[in-house]
Every structure is written in C-alpha cells, then in structure tokens.
Structure 1
Amino acid sequence: MNNAPPKTLLLVDGSSYLYRAFHAMPDLRAVPGDPGSAPTGAIRGIINMLQSLRKEVPAEYAACVFDAKGPTFRDDLYPQYKAHRSPMPDDLRAQIEPIHEVVRLMGWKVLDVPGVEADDVIGTLAATAARQGLQVIVSSGDKDLAQLVNERITIIDTMNGRVRDVAGVTTEFGVPPSLMVDYQTLVGDAIDNVPGVPKVGPKTAAKWLQEYGSLDAIVAQADAIKGAVGENLRKSLDWLPTGRKLLTIKTDCDLKDWLPDLPDMDDIAVGTMNTPALAGFYEKYGFKGLARALVAGGGEKTTAAGSGIGESGKGVRASSASLRGSDPISAGPNSDANNREPGLFDEPDAAPEAPATPRVSTVSYDTILTWETFDRWLARLQAAELVAVDTETTSLDEMRARIVGISFSVTPGEAAYIPLAHAYPDAPTQLPLDEVLARLKPWLEDGSHKKLGQHVKYDRHVFANHGIEVQGYAHDTMLQSYVLEVTRPHGLASLAERHLGRTGISFEDLCGKGVNQICFDQVDVAKAAEYSCEDSDMTLDVHRVLWPLLNANDKLRFIYELEIASSEALYRIERNGVLIDAPTLAAQSHELGQRILQLEKEAHELAGQPFNLSSPKQIGEIFFTKLGLPVVKKTPTGSPSTDDEVLQKLAEDYPLPAKILAHRSLSKLKGTYTDKLAQLAHPRTGRVHTHYAQAVAVTGRLSSNDPNLQNIPVRTPEGRRVREAFVAPSGSVIASADYSQIELRIMAHISGDAALLLAFHDGMDVHRATAAEIFAIDTAQVSSEQRRYAKVINFGLIYGMSAYGLAKALGIDNTAAKNYIARYFDRYPGVKHYMDQTRALAKRQGYVETVFGRRLYLPEINSPNGPRRSGAERAAINAPMQGTAADLIKLAMVKVQQVIDAEQRATKMIMQVHDELVFEVPESEVDWVRHEVPKLMAGVAHLKVPLLAEVGVGLNWDKAH
C-alpha cells in the first residue's frame, strides 16, 4: 500500500500576474531615471511573485500559462467577446517577451498556446492532473477559474491570501464550484463583455440555483418566475446557451504539440534555474541587487514577512518592521503613517537613559528532548517569578500558525528550547507535541505565573490555535519600547543591539533567503534551539533594562499598563472576528464593475480614443498633448503631474479628469474591499479576522490590516454600502458605540476655553455655537452653510490648518479665511493660548503629552527646514488631542471587555475603528448594550467636559449607524 502524499502540480495564471505586476510596481526602467530606456516594472514584479510562490508552494510540476496573441474560438462564437477591453499598455507589451524569457530561466515551463486562452490551458492541465491523482494548485486572482475547483483542484490568490477550495467557493459565491458555470451564465461577465440575464446579480443567481438546483432547471421553470426579473430571464433564453459556451473553461484542449508527454506531466517537471543566463538577464535589465544575490548563491533577498510561510513567529531580525518585531505599517489614507508631514517623525528621539544593569557575558542553552529534562525545566518555570516565552511557528498568519517549537528563559543567559515539529530527514526524536502542550497547559493558563514576551498578542493566537488560552502575560518588550521611544524601531534585534549591545542569529542566517529559503520546521534542531533560546534570553534581558525606566515614571507606567491591557482586549477582538455576507459583496462588486466599465467608456469618448485610465503617462499625453489642459504642477523629473491633487483641480473645470477620479475611486473600492473581503474570510466560519497593529502610530492610534477596517471609506454612498456586508448571525444584531465629537471635547478640556466648556456643558451643538460666535449672531439664526463653515474651522484648527488650507477647504479667498480664523480666536482665546503655549513647550522639551501622559516626540520641532518645522508645530497642536482620543478608546475597550467577562455576557466585541467599538449582540442583550455600554465608555475618564458615547443597533454595521 502506497501511503506517500500525492504529488503537486502548480499552475500560474501568467496573464493575471502580468497586469497585477504592471499596475502594482512603480515605473522602473532598465536605466534608472532614463524614461527612454526599457520599462522593467512588470518584469521585476513577476520575478518577485514567482520567487515567493515557489517558496510557499512546493511542487513537483509547474507551468506558467499566458494568453497567446490572436483570436480564439470564443471570438468566432461571439464577435463582441472582450470588445470593451482596453488595449494592452505599450509599456506592458514591451515587457511580454522578456517576462517569458526570465520565467523560463527561473526553471518554469512557459505556455502560450495560439487559439486557446490561458484559462483553457489551465483547465485542461488541471483536469488531466487531477484525474491522475495529483494535487493541483492554481495561482490566480481570476474568479472565473472557480468553476474548476474540486477536491483535488484549489485556487489560491497570493496577493490577498484568498484560498478558493470547495468550501471557500461556496462561502464566497453562495453556490458550490459545480454550479459556478451556471452562476456565471446568469450573472454574465462585464469584463469580457458576456451578457447575463439583465438585472440578475450575484444574489439572485445564487438564490435561484439554491432553489432550483441548476441552470437547466431554472430554464425549465422560467414561466414560473414572476416579476420583471422573470421576464428578463425569458427574454434571455435564446442567449443563455451561447453565454454558457463562452464562460465554460475548456478542459480538453489539444496540447500535444506543446506537451507531447501528456497525460504524463514530465514535460512540466519543475526545472532548475539557469544561473549564468539569469545573472546576465538581471544585469541587462538593471536588476543589480538580484544579480549580486544570484552570483552570491543566495537568490533574491526577501524576508519571511513577505513570503508568509516559514516565519518563526518572531519576525525577521534583520527587519525591525516585521510582524513580531513591530506591527506592519498601515498605509491607508487615515493612518498616521500617511497623514504625517514628510520627515516629521523620521528622526529617532534620544534613547532614554538606562540604569546600569549587569550584561550577559556567557550563555547556557538547553535543548529538551527527554521527559527528564522537560520535568526539570517545568519545575523551574513553576518556581520562577517571571518567564520569557517564545514560539517558533509555521506561518506569519497568527490565526493559522502552528507550533514548531517553544523556548523559555527564566534568568539572563539561560534558556531552553523544546523542538516539537521539526520534520526534516534525520531529525532527532522529539517529544510529542500534544503531550508537551497538555503538560504545559496548566502553567500557561495560570495567571499567577507571570510571563513575558516580544509581541505577546501573536503568541496568544498561536497557543490558542492549539486550544490553550494563556493567562498571566505581564510584560511585552515591544510595547515597552513603543511607550518609551515611540519613533524608534521596536523589533527585538533593534532593542537588543540598542540596549544590550547584543547581536544574534538572524532568520535569514537560519533559513536562508530567496528561492532557497526553508520553512522553520526544516531547520536543524540544534540551530533552531540556539536561535529560539537567544530570542527568549534577549527578551528577558531587554525587559530588565526597559521596565525600570517605565516603572520610575507614573504617567509612562500608566500608558504601558494600558497598552498591555489593550493587547489582551485586541486579541479577543481579533479572535472573535466579524461575519461577512459574501453574496452582498459579490453583488456590490458586480455593480461597481458595471459602473467602472461605463466610466471607462465615457472617459474614452471624452478623450476621443481608448487609453489606460491607470497609466499616468497615457493620461498626461491625453491631457496636455492632445486636449491642451493647463499644467497644474510638475513631477520631480519635470513632467506634468497627473496625481489626485491635479485631477481634483482640473475636475473643477473639465469633465475628463472628473471621470478618471470617479474611476479610480470605484476601482480602489472594488479591488480593496468588495472583491477582497469575502476572500479573506475563514472558509469554515465566514468570518474576517483583522490584525490590529498596536505599535505603529506615534499618536497611539491603532491601525488594522488584512483587511484594513480603519480605512473603509464612509464619505461616499458606495463606500458606506460596504459596511452592509458586516453582519450578525441569526439571533444577533450589530451594535456600534462611538464617542461624540471626541477631539473637540479634548480640545475644550486641554485649552480650558470658557466658551467651549460652556457649549459642551450646556449640551449645545458645538458647530452651531461656533458659527454663532464667528458670525456674531444668535444660535437660532445660524444657517446650515454657516454651520458647515464652523465645522470645517473647528476641525481644521485642531489639525493646524492654515488660512490657505481653510480658504481651499471652504472655497473662499485667503483674506476671508484669515478673518474667520481671527474671529475664532477672538471668541475662543483659550484655544489660541493653548496653541501658542504648546508650540513653545514642544520646542523646549522636544515632545508633547496626551492628557494621560503618553509622550509624542517631535524631532523636527527645531529644524532649520521651514516646512518640516511647520509640520512639527502643527503636529504638536494636534497630537495631544489625537493621542488622548486614542487613549480614551483603549480605556473604553478594556473596560467594556472586563465587564463583559465579569458578567459573563454573550456579547462580543468584534471591531475597533477610530473612536468606535463594534459588537455582535444576542437579541436578549440589546437593552444592556444600549444602556450600559455608553455609561461605561463615558465613565473611563473625567474631563472638564462630559464624555458622550452613542449606540446604534442594526442587522449590519451600516444599519447600526
């Protein structure tokens, strides 16, 4: 009996990769800075993607499949097939042949079969391999391939972590893979210009197929389907067979001329890199780093954070921004990383003065391979006052990571590693994982045994994946660094070097890099033990330096304790996740896709020719060469700019820029949210589990990623509708609780301005009150336009808005804006005093503080560079308010979770977004949430003005607002 696992065929949808690489990468050139040299961005993107994929998906057979030039049978069947598609951009077309060349040099079989689409080649190879018992992995972002999925064929989308297996497809589309052709026929494919049944979107298609069982059954019962949609179905009956042929991926293409050995897969066995030729290719196209790495024998330098597989759980020590070293930066429009002034927080603040602490000179590390050694160390853990704990894992994905090994340190210089799942040939016999965890569980779950870690939220999830809820995490060195030295790197390697003068083994030293990087379970046990023990040991050693600094300052210790408590609450929120309604998102994506195509068509008509709406180069040619639009500003290279600011300005007078802006907005919404959210949901539960980055923003705000819940746009109807897909299960509702006008209330508290304090104490509409002050009228006389002006001024001045910025925001001249600001400060002199005083204080001490004592450093506050200094001054005014708001929502999050636990409520906290907490609430606890949660949130601090929290309830997140 052969118990060997099945071999794997890895198929890459090269055409899908082409466009993704082209649009994702910057405008790279073979000769940097020379726009006339060959474009190389898509080539580099493809190289990166294939290197990462080869590392993540081991396979015996592999092929990269591209669309060939020329028509296919579908064009003969339906001449309008793909008629709306824009022509391939010239810069991408120029990279096709080099891409095919480099893919071959990297050891991949390249297929581009004339007369046959890439999807049909993939379908034929996948079906052939599956019939032979192979496991087939198809890497593509194309949802059409979902019809191929079965127990042996899986679609993965490495760009966003989506896995379309049988359960995943059923969850995402509401029908199993076997019905996907029927589903697609009803819905149609706007991208390929294949009509479906008019007005039948994803929801209706899924509903019909669930009710009738197949497209044939729906057709047979067409007369029984009522309403306009039934009439549309009957009008489409003659078309549906053609639509079905167009949308069905062929699985029986004749590929003998390209793969003579089929059905055997020998022709596409994974090959080796042609290193000499590849080095020459890299040099030719300007990839000097790739060439150097290749010649050195290591391949392309990548971190495990980029691969997603093989990471130990601590993050790569060479990269202080890796997951375990420091939460990854969110780059959305609302994040502190993007809203800050250039260079404002780029310079590190001075390191705090550390007390003299004896340094480790020698180390003693154990590898636990026997129960006798295990029992001896368990006794040490149970007797120790504080233990540093670290996990080595299979993945950076904290919700799916499994333990490979665990290390502990109880005193500096001493540590032990328990290898549990190293699986390379000749690995030593290891203690059984389940039994080790069962023996450790009582100690891990005992809160009286104090524990320490580096980014403990990650380790909490890893242990929880094995059924262990760790209690007693008292310290986190990442958070200690975050509170003490917010603008410096918080990774363990940086901390150890900065505070201990110690350097250790890097992840790349251990696992290699590039295409040769191995997973942690393949690491030699002796080397893994040294690496992991070193991490636990250094974590404990860093704690001995940083904790006394925090403990000596009451305000900083309070902030640190708040961060520790927040980490635990965030772990609970991440673990709970939020339920996603995939059919609703699919329907929204369908509608957005139709509108995007219409906008593209309208833009082409306005331009008088087709062009790529995502290409700055082509937009520039249309705008400034063909249409003669005015040049608003230029890029650093001297070319006319077509960035969003320019488009916004031109859209005031010209229709084409407005169309492009709308197209960009809807495309981003579709690509970031409506297409992606359902793909990120767990295939069994349908829930999305975001990661909250706690140690990133200098103000203390949280950021969120995979998916980014903080940046869902709410200023447009389309953006707000995305929240309709965040739903509650049957018998529950969604509740949203948020602070009202929190930063204005903080401004009133900090400034102590009498007029502002009075407005909030009297429960007045503060924007109406401000308008009355500025326009010198009674509040009853304030018009909606005057209130709007006052609102812009209230929030604008909090963020340090200048007269020029205010004029631009209100559409008025600079003189009028200056007059409004002058009147504002005349009526609110306390605000003006606060701003002047804060600027002066920041210049003296180099930082400002929140109400609770969080320090917000301003390295550029005394810079000789005027713009940077001005930016730091604006930040000095705003940071205490934004930081205090961040502190308040963390206090609220911690308090509400504590009460939920104490009262054993079934209510779950499922999201934290800016000043808002979102809950999944059983219907029996709705009254409790409505009445008690606002009280809890309002009671976490006592300011000079009352805090006010408001709760909304609905079947989805949007309805809860």
Structure 2
Amino acid sequence: MPKLVLIDGSSYLYRAFHALPPLTNSAGEPTGALFGVVNMLRATLAERPDCAVFVVDAPGKTFRDDLYPEYKANRSALPDDLRAQVQPMCDIVQALGFPLLRIAGVEADDVIGTLALEAAREGTEVTISTGDKDFAQLLQPFDDGGSIRLVNTMSGSVLDTDEAVIAKFGVRANQIVDMLALMGDAIDNVKGVDKCGPKTAAKWLAEYGTLDGVIENAEKIGGKIGENLRTALPRLPLNRELVTIKTDVPLDQPAKSMTLRDRDVDTLRTLYARYGFNAALRDLDGTPAPGATERKVSMRGTEAGWARTGAASAEAPDPRLGEKGEYETVTTREQLDAWIAKLQAADAFAFDVETDSLDAHTANLVGVSLATQAHAGCYIPFGHDYPGAPAQLKREDVLDALRPLFTDASKKKIGQHGKYDLHVLRTHGVAVRGYAEDTMLESFVFNAGASRHDMDSLAKRYLGYDTVRYEDVAGKGAKQIPFSHVSLEDATRYAAEDADVTLRLHAVLRPKIAAEPSLDAVYRDIEMPLVPVLERIESNGVLVDVAELRRQSADLGKRMLDAQQLATNLAGRTFSLDSPKQVGQLLFEELKLPVQVKTSTGQPSVNEEALEALADLHELPKVILEYRGLAKLRSTYTDKLPEMVNPSTGRVHTSYHQAGAATGRLASSDPNLQNIPIRTDDGRRIRRAFVAPEGRRIVACDYSQIELRIMAHLSEDPNLLRAFTSGDDIHRATAAEVFGRTIEEVTNNERRAAKAINFGLMYGMSAFGLAKQLGIGRGEAQDYIALYFSRYPGVRDFMERTRQEARERGFVETVFGRRLHLENIQARNQGLRAGAERAAINAPMQGTAADIVKRAMIEIDRWLAGLGGRALMILQVHDELVFEVEEAFVEELVAGAKDRMAAAAELRVPLVVDAGQGLNWDEAH
C-alpha cells in the first residue's frame, strides 16, 4: 500500500526553535531551529515513504482574515533569529528532494488537509507529521484501505483511531471542530466561551452531541459557565468556520504524484558545512565535506557542541538499523540445538522473556526470545495454550538447554530493562550471570533527561524504527488477551523483534557512551553492577504484619469519620469531603473564602496548597486537609499493603526503577515505599508494620545530611568544611555564623532558620519562600540569605560558577560524572530559565548523593553474598538502607555497613552514617 508523509513545516520550525537551545554556527548565524528540522527530515527519509510533501504557510493574508479581521492579530512578529532560518530551511528541504508547497490565501493546515483526504480516499496510508491538535478532526474511516494518522515527532505519540482521540481529548474525531469552537484558540485569537476548557467542552458535547446541540440547549446549562456560553453564542458559528481545516484547496497536481526527488548532494554539502551539521554531512557520503570542522555548532559561540550534550539523540538514525528483521519460531529440538550452537559461537547475545503477568515474582514464563546479530532473531514458545496452538517444546527442556549459557558469566548477555527478565528466570530456576549490557540504562546514562527509555521509544529515537507494540498482538483494554493466547506467528513477530532491536540499540548506544569516559564510568561502575543488586533486594522482600495494618486501617477509618462529622458541623450541612466540586462550592460560594490558588483552567483550586493557604482563615480547610491525609494513608498503605503480600513468600516485594529520576535517584513502585511519611505519628505507625521474623532484627543505616556534606565538598567553603570536619551540629554552626553567636548561644528558632536556609538554598528557595516557611517578612528573609552568603562566600561562588558552566555546557555533572542536561538553561522564558538554573545547582548534590548510595549498595551486596543469608538488604529509601539481620549478627552488620557506606566516596568532609535496630522498621529508624 502506498505511503504519503505530509510534513507540517511551519509547526516543525516553530517547535524546533522553542525546543532547542539558541545554537549558532561558527559565523554566528542562528541554527537551532534549522538543526531540529534537518534531523526530523532525515528521520522521515529513513522511513522511506513513497511520497512526501513539506508544507509551509505562504506570506500574506488568508480567507480566515477576510472572515475575521482579528484572526491571529495578537501574534507577535517573527523573532529575527527564527526569520533568518526560514529560507535556509526551504533550501535544505528542496535539496533533500521534498516537494515544497506554499499556497497563497490558505494556511498550511488547509493544504495538508486537502492532500490527506484526497490520498486516503484513494487507498493511501497518510502520515501527518505535526504537533497540532487541530488535525485530529481529519481522522475518519476510509474505503480501499486508506488511513490517516498523526505523528508528533517531538514526543513520538501517535493518533490514528477514534479511540485514541477520545483518550487524548475526551471527544470523537468528528467532534474536534466543535470542541475547538467552544474552547477558542488563544494563539489564533479565536475567542471561545469564557472559562470553557477541554473538560467542559467535552462534557457538553457528550451530552448534546454537536455544537449545534450545545447552542440549542444553552438555556439548560446553569451557573456562571452557562452565562458565559449564552454570551458567546453569536460568535460560535464563526469560530467553527475558523477552526475547520479546509479540504478542497485547488492544487496543481494530485497527492500521489508528489514523490521524493533525488537529493542534491552538492547543495546539501554546501549548506550542511555552512551551518555545521556534521552528522548530516557524514550521512551524505560517509565523510565530512572538505574544510568542515567538528563541533563548530556552538551555544552562542561556546564550544559546547549540541551533539555532545542533550540533543545527541536528535541525530538522525542510520537507516540500515531501521530495517525489519527476519525471525524464526523455534518449535523443534533441531531448531533449538541450532540456536544453542549460534549462542555458543557468539561473543554476546540479546534476550527477552515473555510472560503472562507484569508481576515478576508471580509471572509464568511463556517463551524466550534470542538474537546474536542484527535483523535476525528467534522466539522459543512453550506456554501458548490457545485452542489449536501448534505443538511446542517443553519449558523444562528449553530452560535446561539454555541454562549453561545463561549461567556462564563469561558469556555476555544484553537486555532492555533486564531486571524483570532476571527475576522471571530466577523464579524458574535459572540464575543469570554475565548480565553485561542494558539498553535502557545506556539510554538513561547517555541522556537522563529524555522523557522515556522504553524500547518502543528508543527504537523510534535511535533507529527510526516503529516496533510491533504489545497492543498490536494482544489487543488493549477489556479485549486484551494474555500473551499465552497470542498466535505463535504474531508472538514471534513481537517477541523476537524485542531481542533483535535490543541488539541494534546496543550497537548505537554503546559507542555514544564509550566516547564519554565519565558517562562510561557511571554506566560500567554504578548502573550495571546495581542491576543484580536491586534484583536481589526485590526478591528478598520485606515481611509485613498484616494484622497490625488492619488495626491501623480501622483506626484511620474511625478518625476519618470523626473528621467528616466535624466538617459537617463546621459547614452546617452534609457534603462530600472527597468531591473537589462540593468542597469548592462550600468554601468559595457559601463561606465566601478568598480564592488563593487557581487551576490551569482558571478555576478555584482546592488542592493541598490552596487549603493550606486558607487554613488560617477558617477551621474547615484544616479539617479537610486532615481527612485527606488520613484517607491517603489508608488507601495507599494500610488497606493496600495487605493485598500486595506475595502468597508464596508472605512478603511485600517492591520494584525499584533506575531510569526514573534524571538525577539518578531510585524510585520504587508496587508498592511505593519511599513516600511513607516519617515526620508524622501515623507515618511512623505504618513503618511499625514492617517487621523482622522471629530471631532476626531490622537494621536501618542512614547517611547524615549527605547533600549538605556534598555542598561543602563542591563549594570548598572553609567555614562549611570546618563545621563538618569538627563534628558540630551543622544547623547550629550555620546559625552561629549567620547570627554572630557562639554555638552554645544559638536558640532553637535560630537553628530552625539556619536549617531552612541550609536546605532551601540547595533547592533554589527564594526570599519569598524562606519568609513563608519561617513566618517572617520577606525583607528579613532576604537579610538572612545575605548574612548566610557573607559567612559562606564559597557557597555563593559555587552557585554562580555552576550556573555559568551550565549555560556554557548545557549540562551539569555529579562528582562521579553523571550528567543532567538542562534544555531550558538558555530559554528565553525567564521562568523556564530560572527553573533550569535551580536544577543546575541542586542536581550535582542530589545526583552525587544517589551515586554514593548506589556505590554503597554494590559494595555491601558483595560483602553480604558470602555471609550465607545472615543478613539481607531489603529496602533502599532515599539516603537509607534497611536490612533484615540475625540477632547475633546485628553488631557486625552495623559496623560493616557503616564502614562501607562511609567509604563509598572520598569527599573533603567525612560521610557520617547513623544506624539503629529493632523488631520493626520504626524502632530501627
């Protein structure tokens, strides 16, 4: 079936301009938007469409301006840096062989809409490459196999069905126009119904079907929003006309004739060399153009090199790596033996497991996929049990045959998020050794700031390849079937591809990391050794006292009822404390409390921040906050944890995520044990339910003020270093410096203020934030900060130095070389830029702390491995490690763990570790 790609060129250019830093070439010409467009176009060419068209807005007015003179009247002039890149973009587009369309009197959207419908009606698969939601109105069924899908090249998201549109916007594709008419479009100066956001518009359209239906029933809609609707009625028909994409634009040639031309290599070479696009140059003929110099693209003149920082992943992928593979379904012993021979002959192999559950501890193994070279692989099924399923090998026979290879530490294994696979294989009697590479972690270490590191996203980003998704073979929603019911043909297409693509991703990502020694060290010395450590911690699990949790649930429930009764008394009537709508109506319409915080749609908010802001004005918000806190503890922990006890082990097994936070901090889920409150009695009560079995104890070892110690190390401030090396209470020492007292003279309030400053500055707290936290005036808070910096000038210098380095390099590093890329460090928007600067200061400390904890876990795990189970590492929570230990071994465990944790980094100040032990986690903390 023919394929047509329609590129929304104006959208490409604007999005690239605002998404990438303000890059320039060696001559100082702006190149950021151009760089983004070129890489997106190269990725499009890698997909080898039959036809492709690049469409941009023509200069001058359109028919919409005649309909509504105020159309787009609020748009500011095109920035000079962006205007300068428009013509070079068009030159490169045409040199790449793309037809370029500019039609006077209409917008690019109208040209794309016309081409899309014409081609789809003729049986063509149409892809519209855009980030514009308006195009969703074009999605509809077509005869003869034609289709339209929308691909957001920035996020990789796809819209291709009515269901996908409903999931994203809450309305059907044929209701998008009506929704836009109701909402309006601030960018195009189309004024909708005041205060009508997407949820309100979707609600009305669900009830009345169409815009006409909403108009006809406007009198039925009550409240202020109903008044706003009735006020807007005269302009809604015009809105509909303005937001409807025109699909009958007269064109000189049909869509199917708009094929790609051969690229003009000489012109491209000249343009790429001028603008410093060296990867694109290499793509032309394998060598740079004469005179081209590496890393000429710079951030406003610095030698940062965007390709060396966060945008390295924007490089167009090698088209060869994006080709489909050939896969074999292994159902006979002869086939299995042949693959065993391939594995034995290979230096390394990629693998993946297929199961009937996402819970690694209870999942049944359905099959295994393998690959030893790119574009080839196999799937060995043994658990597909649908009616009529072909005969398969026995699971035990397959695992027995593979076990020597999986347990051979000298045979390198490659996986994608392999911790899950290690769990599953271990529970089925195969303890994998030699797990050497993980593409999820390669991607994470290379660019931790990327939003997703799953295989589908990585394949698209680095290979230009659309993988077969799980939903493609198993369905989705209520109709999804277990993988054991997927046909062998479809299962092979999906599963073998996983192993193959893993191998291909490794081929791309490994050289990127190897080229950066600091990143290579983070990957090799921290992240990869941690994988089996986390797998063992998760397998160990933690024992919970279910009866204690049930008692706590009952108590929380009683206190929730008490809070509800008190709230009813205060309100003078009954209402649902769980309903934001009812709470908002009561607080703002009946009690007339002032609106302190608004939602993104401008409505009064009743979130935690809003209620805290009202707590001093009325007792009811306090009661609602208390109720919500109790309800969250009950639903998240005391009710839920008993349901998560593994029936086989009697323990709770959390899952740790290495590729979660960009700073490298571990996250946990199912259940999340890192967010249990520790500053409240109720939170500590929950920790009491995490217990040791008879004859054993819980031991908790926690770094003391690790991030402040890292600040002292990085800033090298003499006074801060002296405070830590002398062993003083750092907050009292800071208070003494700031307020000009001896440590003995410092009051508790002064220590509290110093503590707020110490921690607040690391997180970019302003004078306003400090004033709010301490309950003092903003001027007084500013004086505190000024005093702090006068006593710790090294901290101030470190902060300014870090900001400057971040602006120049585009990233910051931890002590161990982990990088955090800061895409907004040179943003034009002051708020975005300030946020990036705060992250630049905090990330080295938080990231270094995460690295230290991980290094300690690796060393402690090595030590525990030879102790025969006398002590188990069972939890990691922020800067704390928790163990389950034989009673007679507690002192030795504490000494050994503290020594290894303290030695996990060599800083200019000592790392101090506190330890405690008890029958439960709360006693040990």
TM-score over 0.5 (shorter chain): yes
SS in 1 for 2:697: strand
Match of 1:374?
Answer: 336
Residue in structure 1 matched with residue 519 of structure 2 by the alignment: 556
Q: Which has the higher contact order (CA 8 A, sep 6+)?
A: 1
1:29-108 alignment runs, 5 A limit: none
C-alpha distance 831-464 of structure 1, shift in aligned 2 (>3 A): same
Determine which of 631, 634, 638 is the counterpart of 1:667: 631
Q: Name the counterpart of 2:394.
A: 432
| Contact 1:774–1:827 (8 Å) recurs in 2 | yes
Counterpart for residue 711 of structure 1: 675
Report the alpha carbon displacement of residue 397 of structure 1 after superposing the two structures with TM.
1.3
Distance 1:934 1:354, change over 3 A: farther
> What is the match of residue 617 of structure 1?
581
Find 1:416's aligned residue among 351, 364, 378: 378
The separation in 1 between residues aligned to 2:464 and 2:773, in whole angstroms, is 50
Q: Is the 8 A contact 2:446 2:519 kept in 1?
A: yes
- Partners of 2:512 and 2:311 lie apart in 1 by 16
Q: Are 2:497 and 1:534 equivalent residues in the alignment?
A: yes
CA distance in 1, matches of 2:332, 2:357: 27
Residue 36 of structure 1, CA deviation: 13
Letter in 2 for 1:494: S
Q: CA deviation at 1:550?
A: 1.4
Report the Cα offset of residue 35 of structure 1: 9.2
Tell me what 1:733 maps to.
697
- 1:464 equivalent to 2:464? Answer no
Q: Is the 8 A contact 2:417 2:441 kept in 1?
A: yes
Q: Which residue of 2 aligns with 1:386?
A: 348
SS in 2 for 1:639: coil
* AA matched with 1:387: F
1:445 and 1:471 in contact (8 A); partners too? yes
Match of residue 190 from structure 1 = none
Q: Find out whether 1:802 has 2:802 as its counterpart.
A: no
Inter-partner Cα distance in structure 1 for 2:325 and 2:624: 62
Candidates 844, 847, 850, aligned match of 1:886: 850
Q: CA deviation at 1:897?
A: 0.3
Residue 327 of structure 2 corresponds to 365
| SS of alignment partner, residue 411 of structure 1 | coil
Alignment length (residue pairs): 637
Measure the CA separation in 1 of the matches of 2:168 and 2:679: 29
Q: Distance in 1 between matches of 2:428 and 2:629?
A: 42
Change (3 A) 1:524 1:803: same
Matched, 1:448 2:378: no
* Cα distance change on mapping 1:636 and 1:371 into 2, 3 Å: closer
Partner of 1:752 in structure 2?
Answer: 716
Distance across 2 between alignment mates of 1:727 and 1:462: 26
Change (3 A) 1:378 1:594: same
CA contact (8 A) 1:737 1:949 kept: yes
Q: Aligned to 2:543, which of 556, 579, 582?
A: 579
Per the alignment, residue 599 of structure 1 pairs with 563
Match in the other structure for 2:739: 775
Equivalence for 2:234: none
Residue 503 of structure 1 deviates from its aligned partner by 2.4
Q: How far, CA to CA, are the matches of 2:702 and 2:757 in structure 1?
A: 22
Aligned to 1:137: none
CA–CA distance in structure 2, aligned partners of residues 563 and 841 of structure 1: 26
Give the distance between the partners of 1:670 and 1:885, measured in 2 at CA. Answer: 31
Aligned identity (percent) is 50
Which of residues 848, 851, 857 is equivalent to 2:812?
A: 848
Query: For 2:770 and 2:511, how far apart are their aligned partners in 1?
Result: 46
Structure 1 partner of 2:369 = 407
SS in 2 for 1:496: helix
Residue 402 of structure 1 deviates from its aligned partner by 1.4
What's the secondary structure of 1:959's corresponding residue? helix
Whole-Å separation in 1 of the counterparts to 2:323 and 2:901? 49
How many Å apart are 1:355 and its aligned residue? Answer: 10
Is the Cα–Cα contact under 8 Å of residues 352 and 484 in structure 1 kept in the other structure?
no
Residue 902 of structure 1: CA displacement?
3.3
Mapped partners of 1:37, 1:771: distance in 2:
50
Does the Cα contact within 8 Å between 2:310 and 2:822 map onto a contact in 1?
A: no
Cα pair distance change 1:480/1:588, threshold 3 Å: same
**Could you tell me how far apart the structure 2 residues matched to 1:565 and 1:354 are?**
31
Residues 362, 794 of structure 1: CA spacing in aligned structure 2 closer, same or farther, 3 A cutoff? closer
Note the 1:929-944 alignment, pairs <5 A: 929-944=893-908
Counterparts of 1:859 and 1:721, CA distance in 2: 42
| 2:469 corresponds to | 506
- Quick check: 1:848–1:880 contact (8 Å CA) kept in 2? yes
Listed as ranges, the gaps of 5+ residues in structure 2 are: 1-166, 184-194, 207-221, 223-308
Query: Helix, strand or coil: the match of 2:776?
Result: coil
| Structure 1 pair 441–607 and aligned structure 2 pair: CA distance change class (3 A) | same
- Could you tell me how far apart the structure 1 residues matched to 2:486 and 2:601 are? 47
**Residues 351 and 584 of structure 1: is their aligned pair in 2 closer, same or farther, counting only changes over 3 Å?**
same
Q: Which amino acid aligns with 1:681?
A: V
* Residue 353 of structure 1, CA deviation: 6.2
* Counterpart code for 1:858: L
Supply the AA of the counterpart residue of 2:917.
V
State how 1:41-190 maps to structure 2 within 5 Å.
none
Choose 26-35 or 950-959, whichever is displaced more. 26-35
2:449 paired residue number: 487
- SS of the residue corresponding to residue 951 of structure 1 reads strand
Distance 1:412 1:772, change over 3 A: same
SS at the partner of 1:351? helix
Normalising by structure 2, we get a TM-score of: 0.66
Counterpart in the other structure of 1:813: 777
Is this contact kept in 2: 1:349–1:857, CA < 8 A? no
- Distance in 2, matches of 1:354 and 1:28, equals 34
Question: Separation in 1 of the partners of 2:764 and 2:900?
Answer: 32
Q: Please say if 1:793 is aligned against 2:718.
A: no
Distance 2:862 2:488 in 1: 41
Quote the residue 1:857 is aligned against: 821
Q: What letter matches 1:507 in structure 2?
A: Y
* Matched residue SS, 1:755: helix
The counterpart of 1:644, out of the listed 580, 584, 608, is: 608
When residues 519 and 472 of structure 1 are mapped into structure 2, their CA distance, relative to the original with a 3 A threshold, is same
Distance 1:637 1:950, change over 3 A: closer
1:895 corresponds to 2:859: yes
Cα distance in 1 for partners of 2:835, 2:776 equals 23
Give yes or no for contact 1:911–1:919 (8 Å, CA) kept in 2: yes
> After superposition, what is the alpha-carbon deviation per residue over 1:898-934, rounded to whole angstroms, capped at 9, x for unaligned?
1111344520000000000000001121111121110
| Deviations 1:178-207, CA, capped at 9 Å, x for gaps | xxxxxxxxxxxxxxxxxxxxxxxxxxxxxx
What secondary structure does 2:724 align onto? helix
Residue pair 1:415, 1:533 contacting (<8 A) in 2 also = yes
Shift of 1:770: 0.1
Question: 2:322–2:465: 8 Å Cα contact kept in structure 1?
Answer: no
Separation (CA, whole Å) in 2 of partners of 1:901 and 1:36: 55
Secondary structure, counterpart of 1:738 in structure 2: strand
Gaps of 5+ in 1: 1-24, 45-90, 92-346
The partner residue of 2:313 within 351, 364, 367 is: 351
Give the counterpart letter for 1:531 in structure 2.
Y
Q: 2:410 is paired with a residue of what secondary structure?
A: coil
User: How well do the aligned residues superpose, as a CA RMSD in angstroms?
Assistant: 2.7
Give the Cα–Cα distance (whole angstroms) in 1 for the partners of residues 735 and 541 of structure 2. Answer: 42
Query: Residue 822 of structure 1: which of 783, 786, 809 is its match?
Result: 786
Q: Is the contact made by 2:637 and 2:686 (CA closer than 8 Å) also made in structure 1? A: yes
Shift, 1:697, TM fit: 0.6
Runs of 4+ in 1 over 6 A off after TM superposition: 25-33, 35-41, 352-358
Whether the aligned pair in 1 keeps the contact of 2:314 and 2:461 (CA below 8 Å) is no
In 2, distance between residues paired with 1:352 and 1:26? 26
